[in-house]
Amino acid sequence: MNVRLAYGRTGLEVELPDDALLIEPSDPPACADPHADFRAAVRAPIGAPPLRELIGSHERVVVVTSDVTRATPNHLLIPWILDELGHVPSEQITVLVGTGSHRATTPEEMTAMFGAQTLARVRVIDHDAHDDAQQTYLGETSLGARAYLNAEYVAADKRICVGFIEPHPYAGFSGGPKGIMPGVAGIETVKFFHNARMVGDPGSTWLGLEGNPIQAMAREVAALAPPDFLVNVTLDREKRITAFFCGDYLEAHAHGTTFCKRHAAQPVPHRFDVVVGTNGGYPLDQNLYQCIKGLSAAAAIVKPGGTIVMCAELSDGLPEHGNFKDILRARSTPQALLEMIEAPEYSVYDQWGAQTQAQVLVHARVAFRSSLPPETIRGAMLEPVDDVAAAVRAALAAAGPQSRCAVMPLGPYVIPYVADAAFA
């Protein structure tokens, strides 16, 4: 059968075995009139006053939203929020891009994300986790993390958090408090959030909120300077809005994660010898660091010692910025890499991505189709491939005559699980 895989901006057509199991989300219908649905959601929100009544004309407002690695439809949501706050002078509103520990947004990306009209209308700036002068210390968490959040966010009279809800490999789901922690947290706090113990905890996994230490820390840090209003959406495979979850940042998020799980979690009957995966195409497949999501999702249903054939464009490289590439190259085997990262004294920014990739590689072989040179892929402990169909045929032949294949065209936008697995 011919399958179109989400790959970069254009997709990738691949011929795969007819008996391969196709794993896709059961998309709810897209909103027929998303602008009208937005207005209805912010004027009759969940657990909070209507947005325009919540914020006075004299107040300073910070709107936190996702960075370029996320598919949040900022070009729609931010202008709609500004229209709803028409009684607030634009010079009192700042849009803060929650980069977490990611790189800064380029001018071209800013325009693509928000539109030139919005950039001319209101101040839009990046959070910089690495700039200590931007952070305010708010205290220590129950696990001993020193909590730093963006000073301008903390000082605002009213705070709005914008994002979209999808399954997340550590926090269970994105959205809600995760827009604040790690979105606008200082680098020391971000590193604790992703330390080896937190990332390696069995509770830090897809689709689970309760008993999840990473979700718990996101909630605890966000509560130190909580958003006054949440605007979260869910999206379909075409990145169209399917629902709005607006209001109290915890209550609205809980409604959203229930909705998302109903459509994004898919049971499968057993593990597979070969799993073809993606990272959902652009913007999520810009670099290998982000691809730990797709790799982790595929690893949930591949047999131990099986093969993941991963397809991601990697237009932003491994990336070249940050420490991720250097951590991957610090050891020659996945097991040695895990042992280095899990050592009590080890603490390096970006280690969490390398830890997750190493966990996947200890479990399964990974063949990787990308736009990067083969030597770059090999340097990341992966096997470069050009012909995906041929790689799948070879892996199935090596596994034997009864081998089976599963395909995840949209990568981590749908999370498969073996029917008797923990997060069923």
Locate 35 and state its tokens: 């602008």
Burial class from Cβ neighbours inside 10 Å (0-12, 13-18, 19+) for residue 117 reads exposed
Show the CA angle centred on residue 64, arms to residues 56 and 153, nearest 5°.
70
Phi, psi for 153 (deg, rounded to 5): -60, -50
Q: How many CB atoms lie within 10 A of CB 424?
A: 10
Strand partners, 153: none
Write out the catalytic residue numbers.
102, 168
Q: If phi over 0 gives left and psi between -120 and 50 gives alpha, with beta otherwise, what is residue 325?
A: alpha
Report in angstroms the alpha-carbon separations of 225 from 139, 192, 221. Answer: 11, 18, 8
HEC sequence for 291-340: CHHHHHHHHCCEEEEEEEEEECCCCCCCCCCCCHHHHHCCCCCHHHHHHH
Report DSSP state, residue 88: S
